[in-house]
Amino acid sequence: MRVAKMLCTIPFIMRFHSTVLIALLTYVGCYGQSIEETLKQKALNNQDPAKWNMELFESDKSEPFDFNGPMALAAYPVESYKFSVASSEIKFKIGQHHFTGISFGENVPDEKGNYTPEYQTNLIFYTGSAYLPISSLINSRNAPYLTFQGAVGESNFIGLNSPDGKGFVFVNMKLFDLRFGETIIIFQNGKEWFYYLQTDDKLESAVQKDLFIEKIKKNSNVLELVERIGE
């Protein structure tokens, strides 16, 4: 009787797990579809002059754009949006070797309306015997996409993060797919060539910066490339 009862339970367990799996796949499919539909609707709205925020457009047109980046910047109309961007500079040394970098992300409000930066991409550049200034621009006009560009020494970069979890960065025409690591470290040697690393180290908030930097400084691949580029 016990055996018969146990055998009768197996199909039930299989049916239960199948139901859960189907429900999970349906949820994931619907979630992905809803993001795609939202992005598509946003793209259509931005092409409709009736939905443009002309006050914002006129404000952008009146502001002088004095930014020397890899891509030209000009004013263009979009619909109204709520999207606050964030960036934070990174500086540290390994011995006498200097690194200058920047994190890009979004200021996310809590229930009380207080904003906290949540970073999505970190770019770090080996700058030799001294820190170098970093020229950067993070643009909210492509909301809900996070777009940014800039330059450090001989390196130029441009990138984006998408709400669907995808993201890409170009550094001197080298493509980095951010699904495989959101921290990129560049070891530039003049204009001719550079080494690079891509890690899955995350800097999700400003309070984690010291821990984030310590992990980078102890990364064996980083230490190896510091030795290589110093040769």
Q: Which of 101, 93, 87, 88 is nearest to 171 (CA)?
A: 101
- Which range is least confidently modeled, 54-63, 147-156, 165-174, 202-211? 202-211
> Is 53 within a domain?
no
> Is 54 within a domain?
no
DSSP strands (E only) in 69-163:
84-94, 97-109, 115-128, 134-139, 146-152, 155-161
In this structure, the answer to whether residues 110 and 207 fall within a common structural domain is yes
Going by C-beta distance under 8 Å and a sequence separation of 6 or more, which residues neighbour residue 42?
79, 144
> Is 225 within a domain?
yes
In this structure, the answer to whether residues 92 and 205 fall within a common structural domain is yes
Residue-level length of the chain = 231
Mean pLDDT of the region 135-158: 95
**Edge-to-edge strands of the sheet including 183-189?**
84-94, 97-109, 115-128, 183-189, 193-199
- Residue 33 is predicted with a pLDDT of 62
> Is 116 within a domain?
yes
In this structure, the answer to whether residues 142 and 40 fall within a common structural domain is no
In this structure, the answer to whether residues 13 and 73 fall within a common structural domain is no
Mean pLDDT of the region 24-42: 69
> Is 97 within a domain?
yes
pLDDT in tens, 192-225: 999 999 999 998 788 899 999 999 999 999 999 9
Residues 215/199/206/119 CA torsion (nearest 10 deg): -170
In this structure, the answer to whether residues 74 and 11 fall within a common structural domain is no
In this structure, the answer to whether residues 199 and 151 fall within a common structural domain is yes
CA dist list (Å): 203 to 10, 53, 80, 89, 120:
46, 34, 29, 12, 8
- Residue 72 is predicted with a pLDDT of 87
Residue 156 predicted with pLDDT over 50: yes
pLDDT in tens, 46-78: 999 999 999 999 999 998 777 878 998 899 999
- The parent domain of residue 183 ranges over 59-230
Helices 209-218 and 220-230: crossing angle in degrees, nearest 10, is 60
Mean pLDDT of the region 183-198: 95
In this structure, the answer to whether residues 98 and 211 fall within a common structural domain is yes
Number of domains in the chain: 2
Residue 5 predicted with pLDDT over 50: no
In this structure, the answer to whether residues 66 and 40 fall within a common structural domain is no
Rounded Cα distance, 27 and 155, in Å:
42
- Residue 49 is predicted with a pLDDT of 97
In this structure, the answer to whether residues 65 and 42 fall within a common structural domain is no
The label of the residue with tokens 């754009």 reads: 65
> Is 197 within a domain?
yes
Indicate the pLDDT class of residue 106, thresholds 50, 70 and 90: very high
> Is 40 within a domain?
yes
- Residue 231 is predicted with a pLDDT of 63
> Is 52 within a domain?
no
In this structure, the answer to whether residues 74 and 165 fall within a common structural domain is yes
In this structure, the answer to whether residues 189 and 102 fall within a common structural domain is yes
In this structure, the answer to whether residues 68 and 181 fall within a common structural domain is yes
Q: Quick check: 210 and 92 in contact, CB under 8 A?
A: no
